[in-house]
Structure 1
Amino acid sequence: MGIAKSDGVSIYYERHGSGPAILFVHGSGGHHAAWWQQVAALGGRFTVVTVDLRGFGNSDSSMPEFDGQDFPGDILAVLDQEDLTEVLLVGQSIGAVAALRAGLSRPARVAGVALAHSLGGIADPALAELVAADRSEAVKLPVLDRLLSAQFQASEPAKTFLFQQMGTFNVAKMADLRNLSTGGPTIAEVIGSGLDITFLAGENDAVLSAATVRRAHELVKGSRLELIPDAPHSMYWEAPALFNAAVTRIREALA
């Protein structure tokens, strides 16, 4: 475990394993421990870094308000302290927005970004329209049903309960992060960065449709697409074997 300083804010992180580096960035209901099934599966082959963004988990949560625009700096602070290069950033949901911005800010340290169940806050009118349409359908469902399948909830009540408890360790809430995507990068900026971009999503994601992800992949020329059949929004939790295999493929493609 370690503490990095991001503009004076203490950012908690953990480093496990050895080999090519992967840094995981959690979503709005997670923190470093959400990646327990990734650390266990991937730590034997890769350097696996998990981080708590400010306001989450063990990181400083004392500030009166939270600004998602600060999150990329939290990631970069960890990369700098550990002197990591050629890193794959894997961002889950809102974490993908922070991961993409961090990668664009520091291409000397970041080789690629995997946008898991997110478009990473890319600013494009056509994509924004598709995302809004997906969201209008998603909000018709209870929050838990957007994130985990009904089958998983019924068959894995203990893991479902733990999933719900993860968010209780966080001070920052989704409502605090509404400006997270403000001023996001354009498609041209993402393509021009030279970063290896992968859209990683599930066919059964109730938050972001497969059709929207496919369209983003088409527009971001040169990007990769990992669209996993029968996988939900929280694939990393519900179907870790599928998620971990996809992350392994993405990481190995960077080598």
Structure 2
Amino acid sequence: MASVTVNGATIAYDNHGEGEPILFIHGIYSSRRQWDQQVAHFSNKYRVITCDLRGHGQSSSTPDTYSVKLFTEDVIALLDELGIDKVTCLGHSFGGLVAQELALSYPDRVRGIILAETMYGLCSTPWDSMAGMMWNVWLPKMFGVENYMGLISQYFGMYTPGGAAYIQQEAGRHMDDPANQENILMASLTFDSRWRLHKINRPTLLMVGQYPHIPMIYVHNWEMYWRIYGAKFSIIPQAGHLLFWDNPAAFNREVEKFVASLA
């Protein structure tokens, strides 16, 4: 592990391989560890960068009000530190919000973006806001944090050996710091790219799993496909929200095909 101090936070990252750079951004309450299988696969041919977003994994939490914009600025500062001019960015779930903002605010730093099981925000409609509050606020209070973690880890990890244990450990750690957890949550609940999607002018691949763990993601992705000019769409078979774990062979194949098309 390496780390760099950017914008007042210590950002943990790993840097493997050589070649065209690919940046992998994890989902909410997760860490760069979720990409272990992708690092092993892609670092033979590409330069692979994984990082822990501020307040996640081994990166420090700060008293700042978190936002997707702030996370994006952290990523840009990391790329500057590593001397990377342009990158292909793959973001999963919450990480996909950062990838979108990267393409919108810093298009000259982006070769292409891959949005895996992500959405355009949780405040675009009352239904989106309600869904976000249900998953992240109401259910933990209703069932208690420990029972809630058991519930979501079994739900999202049902197709992956070891997936449930990882989710319970990683996400549960964030639940132990309520202030940081709420700060991260508010960043997701205040982001909305719906009416800016047409401004994304970098090659884009949208990816979803065959099994819709989060039905809203399917709805958002079809709209994103329509709004982002030239976007490509891929459904990973025998996979759910954790598609990079559920079917890594198919996931890696689609990612590699897209990255190769950018050459």
Same fold, judged at TM 0.5 (above): yes
- Residue 111 to residue 122, structure 1, CA distance change in 2 (3 Å): farther
Q: 1:169/1:143 Cα in 2 relative to 1: closer, same or farther (>3 Å)?
A: closer
* Partner of residue 202, structure 1: 209
Aligned match of 1:216 = 224
Aligned match of 2:144: none
Q: Which moved more, 1:96-105 or 1:128-137?
A: 128-137
Task: Specify the alignment match of 1:228 in structure 2.
Answer: 236
Match of residue 68 from structure 1: 67
The 8 Å contact of residues 132 and 189 in structure 2, kept in 1 or not, is answered as: no
- The residue type paired with residue 165 of structure 2 is F
Q: 1:86 to 1:38 in 2, by over 3 A?
A: same
Per-residue Cα deviation, 1:142-183 (whole angstroms, up to 9, x for no partner): 32244223x54xxx2x45323422335545436742233535
What is the letter of the counterpart of residue 31 of structure 2? H
* Whole-Å separation in 2 of the counterparts to 1:210 and 1:58: 31
Do residues 147 (structure 1) and 156 (structure 2) align?
yes
Larger helix proportion of the pair: 2
2:35 matches 1:35: yes
CA deviations over 1:28-49 (Å, ceiling 9, x no partner): 1311122111101111011110
Identify the structure with bigger relative contact order (alpha carbons < 8 Å, sequence gap 6+).
Answer: 1
Matches within 5 A, 1:1-255: 1-61=1-61, 63-64=62-63, 67-69=66-68, 70-121=70-121, 128=125, 131=128, 142-149=151-158, 151-152=159-160, 156=161, 158-170=162-174, 171=177, 172-173=180-181, 176-180=184-188, 182=190, 184-187=192-195, 189-208=196-215, 209-255=217-263
> CA 1:173 to 1:135, structure 2 compared with 1: closer, same or farther past 3 Å?
closer
Instruction: Name the CA shift for 1:176/1:249 in 2 (closer, same or farther; >3 Å).
Output: same
**RMSD (Å) for aligned C-alpha atoms:** 2.9
Superposition TM-score, scaled by structure 1 size: 0.82
Name the TM-score, length of structure 2 as normaliser.
0.80
4+ residue runs over 4 A deviation: 128-141, 168-171
Structure 1 residues 104 and 211 mapped into 2: Cα distance closer, same or farther (>3 Å)? closer
Aligned partner of residue 36 in structure 1, secondary structure? helix
Quote the Cα distance in structure 1 between the aligned partners of 2:134 and 2:251.
Answer: 24
Cα displacement (A) at 1:97: 0.7
Distance change in 2, residues 1:100/1:251 (3 Å): same
AA in 2 matched with 1:147: F
Aligned-partner SS, 1:250: helix
How many residue pairs get aligned? The number is: 245
Contact 2:198-2:228 within 8 A present in 1 as well: yes
Q: Which runs of 5+ in 1 are unaligned?
A: none
* C-alpha contact (below 8 Å) 1:88/1:112 kept by paired residues: yes
Structure 1 CA distance for aligned equivalents of residues 229 and 67 of structure 2: 27
Which range is displaced more, 88-97 or 78-87?
A: 78-87
Instruction: Give per-residue Cα distances to partners, 1:112-141, cap 9 Å, x unaligned.
Output: 111111124398x5xx47756977998999
Deviations 1:217-238 (A, max 9, x none): 1232321111222310011122
Aligned residues: percent identity?
A: 26
SS at match of 1:179: helix
